[in-house]
Structure 1
Amino acid sequence: MPETQLGRDELSALDAHWRAANYLAAGQIYLLANPLLTEPLRPEHVKPRLLGHWGTSPGLNLIHTHINRVINARDLDAICVWGPGHGAPAVLANAWLDGSYTATYPDVTRDAAGMGRLFKQFSFPGGVPSHASPETPGSIHEGGELGYSLAHAYGAACDNPGLLAACVIGDGEAETGPLAGSWHANKFLDPVHDGAVLPILHLNGYKIANPTVLARLPESELAELLRGYGHDPLMVAGEEPEAVHRELAAALDTALDRIAAFQRAAREEGATRRPRWPAIVLRTPKGWTGPAEVDGLPVEGTWRAHQIPLAAARENPEHLRQLESWLRSYRPRELFDERGGPVDLVRAACPTGERRLGANPRANGGLLLRELPVPPLESCAVPVTTPGSGQHEPTAVLGRLLARLMEATGERRDFRLVGPDETASNRLQAVYEATGKAWEAETLPVDEHLARDGRVMEILSEHLCQGWLEGYLLTGRHGLFSSYEAFVHIVDSMANQHIKWLHSSRELPWRRPVASLNYLLTSHVWRQDHNGFSHQDPGFVDHVLNKSPEVVRVYLPPDTNTLLACADHVLRSRDYVNVVVAGKQACFDWLSLPDARAHCARGAGIWEWAGSEADNREPDVVLACAGDVPTQEVLAASDLLRRHLPELAVRVVNVVDIARLLPSDDHPHGLSEHDYDALFTTDRPVIFAYHGYPWLIHRLTYKRANHADLHVRGYHEEGGTTTPFDMVVRNDMDRYRLVMDVIDRVPGLAVRAAHIRQHMADVRYRHGLWITEHGVDLPEVADWTWRARA
C-alpha cells in the first residue's frame, strides 16, 4: 500500500479521538457516577450490574475514528454497518463525540451531565441495549444476532450510487453461514447504478471463550480466501497505536482510491469487467488498551477481554483500583474540557452535519422514502362475470403488475424484487419485460435475462435475499421477497430480528416509517407437483403471528384479484412485516376487482352467493375458509350440501386477513366480540378449512364464545409427491370430509343423513383406488366447476 502521510497534528487528533471514544466506551460499561473522574473512584460510582462487551470496542472505535478522517478528507457520503455483536459502547461513544447523539437525544448533552446520562443509560433499566439497535443514531443494523451485516451493507448500497457502505465484520460473526454466503454479494453490485461496499474484517482473535477460525488462519491463506471471493485484501495489523493509525489510514486511502477508479471506469469509460473490490483485514488485540492482567490471568488480547475484564469492581478493592487506573490511562483531562465536552483536538476528527455517521439520512430511511407508484390494478385485473367462471394463475397476474411497477420506478430505481432462484418458478417472470436479473459475473450465450443494471436479485441464499432487502428498505426504498413457502423458514430468525427492529423504531419519534418488508409465499404446501413432503411446510405464518401484533400482518387471498388487492395494500404500507400466501397454479376466479378490494378491506366476510342462507334464517352451520385451496374445497363442499341436503342453511365465510380472528384487544386488526359473533354465530358449528396448521386457528380463537363449536381442518404433516386432490384427502381437508364434518356436528343430521355421509366416505375410498391406477384425480374432482345457486 502507498503510505499515507499523516502530519503530527493529524495523528494527534486521531489518537485523541480514539482515546476519548475508548474512555467513553469503558465508562458506559462501568460508571454510574463520577463520569470525568473528578474525584477518586469509589464503589458507589460503579454500576451494581456490569453488563456489556468491552473486547470489540477499541477496534470499533479505531475504525470509526478513521472513517471520520476519510469522510472529512473526501467529503464522503457514508454509513457504517457495525457487525460485531454488542458493539454499541463504541458506536454510542462516537455519536456522542460528534454531537449526533445529542442532536437526536437533546437531554444527553455534550457535557459532564450528558456524559453521566450516556454512561448510566447503557445496559440499564429504561436505557439502551448493548448492541447497535434502532435507538442508536446512524444504525441500520440490529446487532443482537450475528451474520447479517454484510448483506445489509450491500442492500444499502444498491441503487445508491453516491454511497459508501462500510461494513465492520467481527471474526466471530464471520463464522456464521449467512455471513459466509454474503461474500458473494459483490457479484451483484453494479458500479454504475450502485454505491460501494467496503468490508472491514476485524480480527481480534476470540469469541466468548474460543479462538476464531479466520484469526488463526495463516495470513496468506486468509488472503487467498478473500481473493477467491473476488476481493483484493489490504492487511493491517499491530499493537503499537501510532503504527496502526498510519497503516489503517493508508489502507483506507488505498481502498477508496481503488473504489473511485472502478466507479469512474464504469460510469465514464464504459468498463464492464467486474471489479475486484478492496477489503480491509484489521488485526488488533481483543480488549486493546484495557487491563493486561486481572487476578494473575492475562486479559488483553485473550478471550477474557470479551465482556467485563474487571467483573467485581464494586466489591473488590483491587478491581476498583485497576478500573480507575485503566480509565485514567486515557488521560481524560486532555480530552474533555472543564464542562465535560470534547476538546477542539477531539472534535477536529469529527465530520459535521449530515456527513456524521450518526446523522446520515440514509440510516434513517424514512426521511428519504417516496410514495411507490403502484399502477392501477385495473390494468392487470382479470374479468369475473360470475364467481368461478374463469381460472388464472394468481402470481402470474401479479407478475404483470410488478412489471408495470418496475417500469414506473425505472428512473427512480427504488424498487427491487428478491428471491432464491425462483422468480420464474413462482410465475413472476413478466418482470423480465421491464428489468433483468442483477449479475456481474461471467455470462454465457444460453443465459437469459441477466443484466448489470437489473433490479431482480436472485441467489440461492434466503439469508442473503433477506439481508439485501432489509438493507434496501432501511435506507429508504421499497421491495418484495418471493419465496417457496416451505423454505422461507430459513430466515425465521432474520424475520424475527427485523420485526423487533420495527417494533422498537416505532417508539422512536425521530425514526421515520420505512416501507414494509413484504413476503410473497407461493409454491405452497398444497401444490408440490415436482417435489414432495420436503417442500410442504406452511408454518411461517405461525412463526410470524407469535410476534409483535403492531408490526405483523398475514394475508391469504383466495383468488387472483384478491391477491392484486392485497399486493396493492402491502406495497403501499409502512413499518410492517406483511406475509402474503398465494398459489401459482391456476385456480378459480371468485371475485371481481371491486369485490376483491371490498373483501380485503373487510378482512373476513360472508360470501352470500356461496352459501344457502335464505329468508333471514340463521345458518345451521358455518363453512369458513382461509387460503386458495381451502376456499375451493369449502365451495365444493357447499355445492355438495346444496345438492344432498338442500334444506340445510349453510353460511360461507372467507378470511383474507388471518388476524381478524383475534380479539380486537389482542391485535389492531382483530374483530370485536360483537362482529365476530355476528359472522361466526355463538352457538352453531363452524367447520373451518385452513391453509396451514389447524392448531393456529384454535390459538387465535380460543377466547371466542363459540370456540367449543369450532372444528378446524388443515395441514397435519401428511404429504408426498402426489395429486393435488390427494394432498387435501391425506390431510382430511377435502370437500367430502368437510361434508362429513357437517353431518357429524349439526344436531339431527347424524342419523337422518347417514346415507349421505356413507356416500362421501365411499368417494374418498374410490379416490385412493383411482389415483393409484391412473395417476390423476377423479374426473368429478378434476372437472368440477362452481354451480351458481338457482
Structure 2
Amino acid sequence: MEKTSKKPGAQALAAGELALIDRYWRAANYLSVGQIYLLDNPLLREPLKAEHIKPRLLGHWGTTPGLNFIYAHLNRMIRKSDLDMIYVCGPGHGGPGMVANTYLEGIYSEVYPDIAENEEGMRKLFRQFSFPGGIPSHVAPETPGSIHEGGELGYALVHAYGAAFDNPDLVVACVVGDGEAETGPIAASWHSNKFLNPARDGAVLPILHLNGYKIANPTIMGRASDEDLRQLFSGYGYEPFFVVGHDPADMHQQMAATFDQVFARIRAIQDAARQGRADPDRCPRWPMIVLRSPKGWTGPKEVDGKKVEGFWRSHQVPVSNCRGDDAHRKILEDWMRSYDPEDLFDRDGRLKEELRALAPAGKRRMGANPHANGGLLRRKLAVPEIANHAVAVDPAARGQLMVQSTEMLGRYLRDVLTLNAENRNFRIFGPDETESNRLGSVFEVTNRVWMEEIEPYDVHLSRDGRVMEVLSEHLCQGWLEGYLLTGRHGFFSCYEAFIHIVDSMFNQHAKWLKVSRELEWRKPIASLNYLLTSHVWRQDHNGFSHQDPGFVDLVANKKADVVRIYLPPDANTLLWTGDHCLKTYNRINVIVAGKQPEPQWLTMDEAVRHCEAGIGIWEWAGNEEGAVAPDVVMACAGDVPTMETLAAVDMLRQKIPALKVRVVNVVDLMALQSAEQHPHGLSDDAFNRIFTTDRPVIFAYHGYPYLIHRLTYRRTNHGNFHVRGFIEEGTTTTPFDMTVLNELDRFHLALEAISRVPGLAEKAAGVVTELRSKLEEHHRYVREFGEDMPEIQGWRWPG
C-alpha cells in the first residue's frame, strides 16, 4: 500500500548533537538486548560463549528500539525547555527499553544501589531481567518512572490523560503501540482530549508507534496509509504529525524537528487558554505523532534465511538458540557489537560523560519524576464530619424512615468537593450515572467536564467541572487510575452489573498495588474507591441484563492487604463507609449500596460502632434474652438482604414467639475470614461468639451464595451455614419478586429457619403452610396487578 509522509525540511540537529543522540540511542538498544540475552560478559570483553547466554530467553525486542528512540528525543526536549514530563509506555513488553533508559539516566541505580553504574552492575541488570527472583519483562511497578503496567494492552492513553488532569505543568508522553491500538479501550481513549482543559490541566502527547506487526500478524493501523491515519486522527480532534522512515540519521532529524513543532503547539494552546485568548466554544486541537519505524529496528535483518527486522519475527527473541547454536550466537554477538559498546561505556562500564550529559538532571529525569511515584505528591484529602449528614434514626422507631442512602452520600461528596476546591485534588468519575445514582447534590458545587460546544439548554456542563462522565467504564476506571497514581484522590460510581466491564483493569491495578506495597521507594497512593449501586435487587425495570452482583467475587480473590468489600445496610453506615474509604491508601475499596428508598436502621453513633467492628449482633432485632444460645442465627449482608431478614424475623417472632432468634449484620464482608487470612478478619473466638458453634445460621447475602462459603469454610460452624443469595434468576419484575425468584425473600428465609431448627417444622406445620400460601398469593398478585402486595410495600419493622 502506498503511504505518504510530510517531513519537516529544516535540520533540527547539528552534526555533533545528532552523533550524540544516536550514541545515546545505541546505548539504550545495547542494554535492552543485553537484558534479553546475557547472564555474563556484559561489555563483551571476550568473545561470546554459551555460558554467557541465559538458558531461557524471555523478553520482547520488536517494539523496544522505537521506545528507546522516543525516550532519547524526549530527553532532548526536557533539557531544551525544562519540561516536567513522564513517559507512559503502552507497548506491552517494552520493559527492556524502560529499564535501560532509567539505568542510563542514573535513577535505576539510585533506587536499586546493588545495580550500580559499572560493569558488575550491568551484569546484574542483565541477569535480573525475566529471571527467577528478578524483574518482569514488561514495564511494572519495579520500573522507576512508570505509572502504567505493561502486562495488558489498551490502557496507556487513558492512564496518561488521568495523570494530566489537574496537573497544569505536566506533560505526559504516551506511546501507543499499533498492536495496542487495536483494542477497544484505546479506541475510546482517543476521545479523552474532549475532557482536557488547557487552562488548568497538563498536556498529553500521544505517539502512535507503528512498526507494522504484532505477535504473528500485521497490524491494522500499520497497513493504513498516512492519509487515512491523518483523516482518522483529525476526526478525533487531533493535529497529526508524521515521522516515517528507517535510516537513523534521517529519523533523528525528523523526530527532533517534529518534537520542536509539537511542543511549540502545546505551549501555544496552553498559553492561549491561560491568557484568555482561546475560543471558549471550541475544543483545542492537540498535536499527536505517528511514528513509523521498522519492527526490531537495528536488529538482525535475517536469521536462518528468514526475514526478521521489519517483520513479526522480531517481536520477541529474534535469535532463539544462542546457547546451543554457534551460528545463532555469532549473529547475537555481531548484533550487540554493532552498537559499539566501547564508544558508549568507559572501562568501568559507566556511560561516558558526554552521553550522561544528554539525560535531564534530578527530578526532571523521567524515571525520577515524582508524578510517576504519586505517593510523594499525595496530600491529605479534606473531608466533612459525617455527623453533619447523619440521618436522624429514632431507636424506638427503627425501619420506619425511608431514605435514599446514596442521596445522603451525594451530599457528603458535595462537601468533599467544596473542601478540596482550591487544591483541586479530588474528582468523581462515572459512566453518565451520577444523577441516576442519586449523587446529584454534587452539582450544587460543580459541573460535568465538557470541552466540546455547550448549548444554552445544557445542564451542569462546564469547562471547569469536577465530575468526569463518559459512557465508557474503561475510561472512567483508567482516568481514575492515572489520577490516583499521580498523587490525587477520586471516587467511581457505577451500575453494579456493568462494573464487570473493567474486571481486567481492576485486576491490573490490584496487582500493581500488591507489588508497590513491597517496594519501599514507592510511596502509598490514595485508594481506588468504587460505589456499586443500581444493584441486582433493584433492577426491576431494566431486567436480567442488569442483574449481576458478581464483581465482589473477583475482588475477593485478591490479596487481603489490598481489597476491602463493604455492604452498608442503610444511610448512616454508608456515610461511615464512604468517609473511611476516602481516607485510606494503597487499597481497592468496593462499596455496594442501593439508591432506592430503603428503611433506616441505625443511629449515627450505632453505625460508627457497627462499621468499626465490621460485623455485629443487632440485639434490638432478636429475642434471645436470657437464653444460653439462640435457636437460630439470622445473618445478613447487604441492604435488601437486611430488610428481608428483618421482615422474616418479624414474622418468626410473631408466629413462633418461643423461637429464640439472633440477628447478625455484616457490613465488612472480609470480617468473615479468619484473622490469619485478612487484616479485618475475626478471631475464631469472636466468630464463634457471634455465630455460635452449633446452631443453624440462615445467611441472606447480597451476591452469589458461594462467596460466603468461601470466606467461612474454615470456621467451626461452617457446616451449619445455609446461604441464600442471587442464584441467577432474574427478569423485568417487581422488587420483591426478584427476591422471591432467588429465594432470598422473607418467606423463604423464615421457611429455611424453620426447616433447620431441629423438630421445629413439625411443631410449626401450620406456619409453614401459611408461608407457602403467601408465596403463592404473591405469585398471583404481581402477575395480575404488576406491583408487590400492599403488605409487602407497606411493611415496617414493628419497633
**8 A Cα contact 2:374 2:484, kept in partner:** yes
Aligned residue in 1 for 2:5: none
Deviation at 1:721, TM superposition (A): 1.1
**8 A Cα contact 1:20 1:346, kept in partner:** no
Counterpart selection for 1:153 from 160, 166, 170: 160
After superposition, where does 1:346-385 map in structure 2 within 5 Å? 346-385=355-394
What secondary structure, in the 3-state scheme, does the structure 2 residue paired with 1:609 have? coil
Aligned residue in 1 for 2:3: none
What secondary structure, in the 3-state scheme, does the structure 1 residue paired with 2:537 have? coil
What secondary structure, in the 3-state scheme, does the structure 2 residue paired with 1:669 have? coil
Aligned residue in 1 for 2:571: 560
Deviation at 1:773, TM superposition (A): 1.5
Aligned residue in 1 for 2:557: 546
Aligned residue in 2 for 1:307: 316
Residues 41-82 of structure 1: CA distance to partner in whole angstroms, max 9, x if unpaired?
111001111000000110000000000000000000000100
**Counterpart amino acid of residue 517 in structure 1:** L
What secondary structure, in the 3-state scheme, does the structure 2 residue paired with 1:608 have? coil
Aligned residue in 2 for 1:482: 493
Deviation at 1:662, TM superposition (A): 1.1
Counterparts of 2:435 and 2:347 in 1: how far apart (Å)? 65
Deviation at 1:700, TM superposition (A): 1.2
**8 A Cα contact 1:166 1:199, kept in partner:** yes
Counterparts of 1:276 and 1:600 in 2: how far apart (Å)? 49
Deviation at 1:757, TM superposition (A): 0.8
What secondary structure, in the 3-state scheme, does the structure 2 residue paired with 1:103 have? helix
Aligned residue in 2 for 1:409: 420
Deviation at 1:378, TM superposition (A): 1.4
Residues 222-277 of structure 1: CA distance to partner in whole angstroms, max 9, x if unpaired?
11001111010000011110100010111111111011001000001242221100
Counterparts of 2:102 and 2:751 in 1: how far apart (Å)? 66
**8 A Cα contact 2:540 2:731, kept in partner:** no
Residues 15-65 of structure 1: CA distance to partner in whole angstroms, max 9, x if unpaired?
010000000000000010000001111110011110000001100000000
**Counterpart amino acid of residue 735 in structure 1:** R
**Counterpart amino acid of residue 480 in structure 1:** F
Long gaps (5+) in structure 1? none
Deviation at 1:530, TM superposition (A): 2.7
Deviation at 1:459, TM superposition (A): 0.5
Aligned residue in 1 for 2:170: 163
Moved more, 74-83 or 343-352: 343-352
Deviation at 1:447, TM superposition (A): 1.2
How many percent of aligned residue pairs carry the same amino acid? Answer: 60
Aligned residue in 1 for 2:671: 660
Matched, 1:107 2:118: no
Counterparts of 2:414 and 2:423 in 1: how far apart (Å)? 15
Deviation at 1:683, TM superposition (A): 0.4
Aligned residue in 2 for 1:8: 15
Deviation at 1:547, TM superposition (A): 1.3
Matched, 1:714 2:721: no
Aligned residue in 2 for 1:56: 63
After superposition, where does 1:231-250 map in structure 2 within 5 Å? 231-250=238-257
Counterparts of 1:2 and 1:227 in 2: how far apart (Å)? 22
Deviation at 1:345, TM superposition (A): 2.4
Aligned residue in 2 for 1:228: 235
What secondary structure, in the 3-state scheme, does the structure 1 residue paired with 2:620 have? helix
Aligned residue in 2 for 1:687: 698
TM-score between the two structures when normalised by the length of structure 1: 0.99
**Counterpart amino acid of residue 628 in structure 1:** D
Deviation at 1:101, TM superposition (A): 0.5
**Counterpart amino acid of residue 156 in structure 1:** A
TM-score between the two structures when normalised by the length of structure 2: 0.98
Counterpart selection for 2:32 from 18, 21, 25: 25
Moved more, 1-10 or 44-53: 1-10
**8 A Cα contact 1:16 1:345, kept in partner:** no
Counterpart selection for 2:222 from 212, 215, 225: 215
Q: 1:2/1:578 Cα in 2 relative to 1: closer, same or farther (>3 Å)?
A: farther
Deviation at 1:7, TM superposition (A): 1.3
**Counterpart amino acid of residue 200 in structure 1:** I
Counterparts of 1:664 and 1:529 in 2: how far apart (Å)? 38
Counterpart selection for 2:656 from 645, 648, 659: 645
What secondary structure, in the 3-state scheme, does the structure 2 residue paired with 1:431 have? helix
Deviation at 1:414, TM superposition (A): 0.3
**Counterpart amino acid of residue 495 in structure 2:** Y
Deviation at 1:446, TM superposition (A): 2.3
Aligned residue in 1 for 2:135: 128
Residues 331-389 of structure 1: CA distance to partner in whole angstroms, max 9, x if unpaired?
00000001100002211210010000100000000001011111111121111112213
**8 A Cα contact 1:619 1:651, kept in partner:** yes
Counterparts of 2:104 and 2:152 in 1: how far apart (Å)? 26
Aligned residue in 1 for 2:626: 615
Counterparts of 2:492 and 2:662 in 1: how far apart (Å)? 36
Counterparts of 1:473 and 1:555 in 2: how far apart (Å)? 21
What secondary structure, in the 3-state scheme, does the structure 1 residue paired with 2:61 have? coil
Deviation at 1:616, TM superposition (A): 4.5
**Counterpart amino acid of residue 37 in structure 2:** Y
What secondary structure, in the 3-state scheme, does the structure 1 residue paired with 2:538 have? coil
**8 A Cα contact 1:462 1:490, kept in partner:** yes
What secondary structure, in the 3-state scheme, does the structure 1 residue paired with 2:782 have? helix
Aligned residue in 2 for 1:206: 213
**Counterpart amino acid of residue 516 in structure 2:** S
Aligned residue in 2 for 1:330: 339
Aligned residue in 1 for 2:527: 516
Counterparts of 2:277 and 2:559 in 1: how far apart (Å)? 48
Instruction: Write out the 4+ residue segments of structure 1 that deviate beyond 4 Å after TM superposition.
Output: none
After superposition, where does 1:666-681 map in structure 2 within 5 Å? 666-681=677-692
**Counterpart amino acid of residue 365 in structure 1:** G
Counterparts of 1:617 and 1:420 in 2: how far apart (Å)? 51
What secondary structure, in the 3-state scheme, does the structure 2 residue paired with 1:53 have? coil
Matched, 1:446 2:457: yes
Matched, 1:501 2:522: no
Counterparts of 1:42 and 1:113 in 2: how far apart (Å)? 18
After superposition, where does 1:570-589 map in structure 2 within 5 Å? 570-589=581-600
Aligned residue in 1 for 2:261: 254
Deviation at 1:617, TM superposition (A): 2.9
Counterparts of 2:386 and 2:89 in 1: how far apart (Å)? 41
Counterparts of 1:296 and 1:568 in 2: how far apart (Å)? 64
**Counterpart amino acid of residue 674 in structure 1:** D
Deviation at 1:401, TM superposition (A): 0.5
What secondary structure, in the 3-state scheme, does the structure 1 residue paired with 2:695 have? coil
Q: 1:776/1:558 Cα in 2 relative to 1: closer, same or farther (>3 Å)?
A: same
Counterparts of 1:378 and 1:601 in 2: how far apart (Å)? 15
What secondary structure, in the 3-state scheme, does the structure 1 residue paired with 2:664 have? strand
Deviation at 1:748, TM superposition (A): 1.5
**Counterpart amino acid of residue 451 in structure 1:** S
Moved more, 487-496 or 218-227: 218-227
Counterparts of 2:11 and 2:95 in 1: how far apart (Å)? 29
**8 A Cα contact 1:35 1:116, kept in partner:** yes
Counterparts of 1:194 and 1:709 in 2: how far apart (Å)? 56
Counterparts of 2:469 and 2:87 in 1: how far apart (Å)? 25
**8 A Cα contact 1:399 1:431, kept in partner:** yes
Matched, 1:392 2:403: yes
Matched, 1:727 2:729: no
**Counterpart amino acid of residue 255 in structure 2:** L
Counterparts of 1:455 and 1:316 in 2: how far apart (Å)? 60
Counterparts of 2:445 and 2:111 in 1: how far apart (Å)? 41
Q: Number of matched residues?
A: 788
Matched, 1:288 2:294: no
What secondary structure, in the 3-state scheme, does the structure 1 residue paired with 2:630 have? coil
Deviation at 1:611, TM superposition (A): 0.7
